[in-house]
Structure 1
Amino acid sequence: MQLTPNITQILNHLEKIEPFNPQNSLDGARKYLETMSLQLSGKKEPITMIEELNIQQENHQIPVRIYRPNGKAVQNSSAIIYIHGGWFIAGGYETHDAVVRKLANKTGSVVIFIDYRLAPEHPFPAGLNDSLNGIKWVIENAESLGIDPDKIGIIGDSAGGALATAVSTQIGNQLKFQVLIYPAADNQLNSKSWETYEKGPVLNKQGGIEAWDWYLPNEEKDNPLAIPVLIKDFKETPPTLVILAEHDPLLDDGKQLSENMKNAGVTLTTTLYKDMVHGFMHMGGLLEEVQSAVGEMAAFAHQNFNSAGEKVS
């Protein structure tokens, strides 16, 4: 495995990260992601406004954060729903704040971040239901949010990529596109890339096994909505961009999901980011590739919003 000097520097730094006073492996995993994101994401871009609100459900609320891009305070804006990664057990507003700000400014779209419930406290399908219900609420309330309901896309990274894939099989006909960033597509962890990168970098197999066990109840072990590589019906899936990283244990699972989508007739673009590791979108403080990926996602968003008549800024 040949690693670039920047990636080597990052991995050396990650080895030194010690989550503060972790109570157990779950708490440690959550704090590790928070620390990694905080230390490696770089300076956060200013944006026009952040709003936080809660979507009322029958027995709980779904927190969402709305990012209004810099220099744009327009009504009838395009919008992107962001579903975050973290092995279904970690992540939230702060872990993805830097990435979402970049996306809002580069796309010129309002970005709506859904802070779905996490396992193991809330196993599948809680996170999927929150993602699905959150997006439905955004579509239903688009006018009051200043959003054009015909110009909405979805982006998910890692575990969020799995959730986005499942969401788009349900209501993809209401979405202009989806972007899957190194998606967590399979719970078997038995691919060639998992064999190669069993001990990392960034992810390791033991952590993956724990996370899927926390997330997936036994009776759901074969549910395609939990495990994207099992999905057969992609007829609702909108045009899709899949971003993969070369040195990532999830690489082959992401390739398999892409292949399944392509075979099902989904309009598909797949990009492999050479030399990159899982989670590289959190490493914008050191990696130019982060801005390249944001630029690619913005171009893809504009291309698909244009089909709805949006003028590219």
Structure 2
Amino acid sequence: MQLTSPINKIINHLEKIQSFNAQDPLDDTRKYLETMTLQLSEKKEPVAMIEELNVPQENHQIPIRIYRPKGKRPENSSAIIYIHGGWFIAGSFETHDAVVRKLANQTGSVIIFVDYRLAPEHPFPAGLNDCIDIVKWVADHAKSLGIDRNQVGIIGDSAGGALATSVSAQVGELLKFQALIYPAADNQLNTKSWETYETGPVLNKEGGIQAWEWYHPEGKNNPDPLAVPILIKDFKNTPPTLVLIAEHDALKDEGEKLAQHMKNAGVSVQTSFYKDMVHGFMHMGAILNETQAAIDEIAVFAHENLEQ
């Protein structure tokens, strides 16, 4: 494995992040992700406005954060729903704040960030249901949100890529595009890339096995394709899709396989390979130029599929 100097710098930095709570691996994972993103993300860009809402459901509320981009705002803006990564067990408004601000400004779209319920407190399908419910809610409340309900896309990174894939397979008729950033798609963790990167960088197999068990406890014996999207057979609702793959990423092979499954099903799929990159590189803009390159590519794809 030949890693570039910036990537080695990042790995050295990550190795210095001390364990926060070794007795509680869940708490430790959540705090580690927060620290990594805080320390390696670029300075946060200003946006025009950030609003936080709690969307009421039958037995709970779904927190969302709405980012309105800099510049003139049209009455009926395009919108992008963002579903965050974190192995289905971590991630929050704050872990992805820097990335989402950049996406809002670069795409010119309103970004709606979903703070879906996390495992293991809320295993599958709780988080997926939250994401589907927010897509439907945005369509139903588009006018009051200042959004054109016919100009909505979705982005998901890592575990969020798995969730976005399943959302699109269910309610893709409400979406104009999806972008999947190094998606987690398979709970088997038995690909060649998992063999190569079993102990990192960034991800490790032991943590991945535990995360999937927390998220989808029945997954080993009775996997649900909506939890494990590599198993999805019917992509009939899926809109045009962009898949970003990182070279030195344990999830590389399953991301490429998921993209191929979509292509085989007749979905318009564009795959982009980020040479030398590691999992999570979207959070490493303080060191990597590729973070901005990926933001730019997603923005171009969004503009191609949205009327702006």
Please state which band the TM-score falls in when normalised by the shorter chain. over 0.9
Which residue of 2 is the match for residue 203 of structure 1?
203
The AA in structure 2 aligned to 1:116 is Y
Percent identical pairs in the alignment equals 71
Which residue of 2 is the match for residue 258 of structure 1?
259
> For each residue in 1:80-128, what CA deviation from the matched residue of structure 2 results, as whole angstroms up to 9, or x when unmatched?
0000000000001000000000000000000000000000000000000
Give the deviation of 1:202 after TM superposition.
0.1
Alignment of 1:165-184 (within 5 A): 165-184=165-184
Give the deviation of 1:261 after TM superposition.
0.4
Give the deviation of 1:217 after TM superposition.
2.4
SS at match of 1:252: helix
> For each residue in 1:113-166, what CA deviation from the matched residue of structure 2 results, as whole angstroms up to 9, or x when unmatched?
000000000000000000000111011000000000010000000000000000
Distance 1:48 1:23 in 2: 42
Give the deviation of 1:22 after TM superposition.
5.2
Give the deviation of 1:173 after TM superposition.
1.2
The AA in structure 2 aligned to 1:166 is S
CA contact (8 A) 1:42 1:283 kept: yes
SS at match of 2:94: helix
> For each residue in 1:151-204, what CA deviation from the matched residue of structure 2 results, as whole angstroms up to 9, or x when unmatched?
000000000000000000111011000000000000000000000000000000
Alignment of 1:203-242 (within 5 A): 203-218=203-218, 221-242=222-243
Distance 2:179 2:52 in 1: 24
Alignment of 1:26-45 (within 5 A): 26-45=26-45
> For each residue in 1:26-58, what CA deviation from the matched residue of structure 2 results, as whole angstroms up to 9, or x when unmatched?
000000000000000020000000000000001
Alignment pair present for 1:243 and 2:251: no
Alignment of 1:1-313 (within 5 A): 1-21=1-21, 23-218=23-218, 221-305=222-306, 310-311=307-308
Distance 1:23 1:110 in 2: 40
Distance 2:281 2:118 in 1: 22
SS at match of 1:95: coil
The AA in structure 2 aligned to 1:271 is S
The AA in structure 1 aligned to 2:275 is K
> For each residue in 1:51-70, what CA deviation from the matched residue of structure 2 results, as whole angstroms up to 9, or x when unmatched?
00000001100000000001
Give the deviation of 1:221 after TM superposition.
3.6
CA contact (8 A) 2:107 2:299 kept: yes
Give the deviation of 1:72 after TM superposition.
3.0
| CA RMSD, 1 decimal | 1.0
Give the deviation of 1:304 after TM superposition.
0.4
Give the deviation of 1:74 after TM superposition.
2.6
SS at match of 2:117: coil
Distance 1:23 1:147 in 2: 45
Cα 1:70–1:23 shift into 2, 3 Å:
farther
Distance 1:173 1:147 in 2: 17
CA contact (8 A) 2:158 2:181 kept: yes
For structure 2, list consecutive stretches of 5 or more residues without a partner in the other structure. Answer: none
SS at match of 1:118: coil
Runs of 4+ more than 3 Å apart: 19-23
CA contact (8 A) 1:201 1:247 kept: yes
SS at match of 2:74: coil
Distance 2:140 2:69 in 1: 22
Distance 1:21 1:217 in 2: 24
The AA in structure 1 aligned to 2:263 is K
> For each residue in 1:197-241, what CA deviation from the matched residue of structure 2 results, as whole angstroms up to 9, or x when unmatched?
000000000000000000002278421000011000011000000
SS at match of 2:156: strand
Distance 2:121 2:149 in 1: 33
SS at match of 1:93: coil
For structure 1, list consecutive stretches of 5 or more residues without a partner in the other structure. Answer: none
Give the deviation of 1:23 after TM superposition.
4.9
Distance 2:184 2:113 in 1: 19
CA contact (8 A) 1:48 1:72 kept: no
CA contact (8 A) 2:241 2:269 kept: yes
CA contact (8 A) 1:22 1:31 kept: no
SS at match of 1:260: helix
Give the deviation of 1:75 after TM superposition.
1.5
The AA in structure 1 aligned to 2:203 is L
